[in-house]
Structure formats: C-alpha cells, structure tokens
Chain A
Amino acid sequence: DAGVIQSPRHEVTEMGQEVTLRCKPISGHNSLFWYRQTMMRGLELLIYFNNNVPIDDSGMPEDRFSAKMPNASFSTLKIQPSEPRDSAVYFCASRPKDRLDQPQHFGDGTRLSIL
C-alpha cells in the first residue's frame, strides 16, 4: 500500500523565493497534518485538516505560511517569501477516517534549506 507521499524530498532555494511543498495522504484517510521539525524546537504541528477543512492553524508561524487542501488526495504548504529560519524538515501525516484513536502515518518529509 502506498504511504503518505511528499514532494520534493529536498529543496534548496534562496531567501525571498516562494516554496511549495506537496503532500498526498493515504487513500481513505480524511485527516491531514503538516509538521515542522528542527533540532531546536523538535516536532511542531503547523496546521491540520479534517475532511479538507482547516481545523486548527494556530501553529502556523506567520502570514508567510499558508496551506490548502483542495481535495481529499492533495495538500500544499506554501511559504512566501521564504527566510533562512524556515529551514527545517517538513512532514505531512494522515490519519484514518473518523478514527480519533488511530495513530498518524508520516511521509518521508521535505528537507528545506533557505540560503
């Protein structure tokens, strides 16, 4: 079975550029989560969706970050303009439909470096 698929795996870009990260959740999962992980701050929840609707975006650091989920099989996390402090590993995770007791399944992550 295909797991959570993220792209790109690695992204290196200059500050000020727009960055778009993509995620395809596991088929049938209706909750999707975006996380950021750094050595200093650990794993942080940025935003999550349920049935394609954003439920909680309180973890989004600032207005430069935005996320969308136009359908059940695709989500994007966009940073515009990007800054060096945005460098981190960004994970997408999904969870089975209507099962709050089930764990989340993570994608391989996108390693983002802003120069």
Chain B
Amino acid sequence: RKEVEQDPGPFNVPEGATVAFNCTYSNSASQSFFWYRQDCRKEPKLLMSVYSSGNEDGRFTAQLNRASQYISLLIRDSKLSDSATYLCVVSAGVDSWGKLQFGAGTQVVVTP
C-alpha cells in the first residue's frame, strides 16, 4: 500500500464550478500536511499548508481528518489557470527529519 494515495483523475471542471478531492495517508504519526500544485513540465509549488482546524486561502479550502487519515482540497469558482496536478504531501513522521511523502497527484482540468 502506498503511503499517500490520491485519485489520479482527471477531474474535468467547468469554469466557475467547484471541485473537491481527497487523499488518504497511512502513517498515523504524520505531523505536517501540504497541498502542492504542479503544472506540466514544471516543478511542484506549494499551494497551501493544511492545519488541523482546516484553513482557507482565497478560493482554496483544505481540511484534515486525523481520525480517518485523509486530507481534502476544495476549489471554488474554478479558473482556467487552476488546471494542474495537485499533489497531496504528508510528513513521514516525527523522527523523519522533515522527509515528505508525495502522492502521485490528482489532475484537474478546468474547461471554458
């Protein structure tokens, strides 16, 4: 079983619509959680950190459910520029020296 699992998609989303997707992680000792986005042929870039109480950054909302070991990302009012692959990222554990586990990514395609 992979450490971090994501639905690969693609999620085809009309412009202006809302899209949401989850990822699950296996290490219950994980302490830090992030969403990165990666555009085609580019490097992963931090989208947002995910906090225990959930957090928003503009049109993006992230939630963490420690009991069920999943995190979610919701994108409201989708823009064409939101088309990308979204990587779920989880720390490997308390003693991991900051080592991160990356999911394989969820592809989002926003269409006009």
Contact = CB atoms under 8 A, between A and B. Distances in A.
18 contacts: A31-B97, A33-B100, A42-B104, A43-B102, A48-B97, A48-B98, A91-B43, A100-B91, A100-B97, A101-B31, A102-B98, A103-B32, A103-B49, A104-B98, A104-B100, A106-B43, A108-B42, A109-B42
Interface string B33-46: 01010000011111
Interface residues of A, number: 22
A107 B43 contact: yes
B105 A42 contact: yes
A13 to B, nearest CB: 20
Interface of A: 31, 33, 42-43, 45, 48, 50, 55-56, 91, 95, 99-109
A44 to B, nearest CB: 9
B98 A31 contact: yes
B87 interface: yes
A103 B43 contact: no
Interface of B: 31-32, 34, 36, 42-46, 49, 87, 89, 91, 96-100, 102, 104-105
B98 A106 contact: no
B97 A106 contact: no
A52 B99 CA distance: 15
Given A33-B100, A103-B34, A108-B42, 18 more contacts: A31-B97, A43-B44, A43-B87, A45-B100, A48-B97, A48-B98, A50-B97, A50-B98, A91-B43, A100-B32, A100-B91, A100-B96, A100-B97, A101-B31, A102-B32, A102-B98, A103-B36, A103-B100
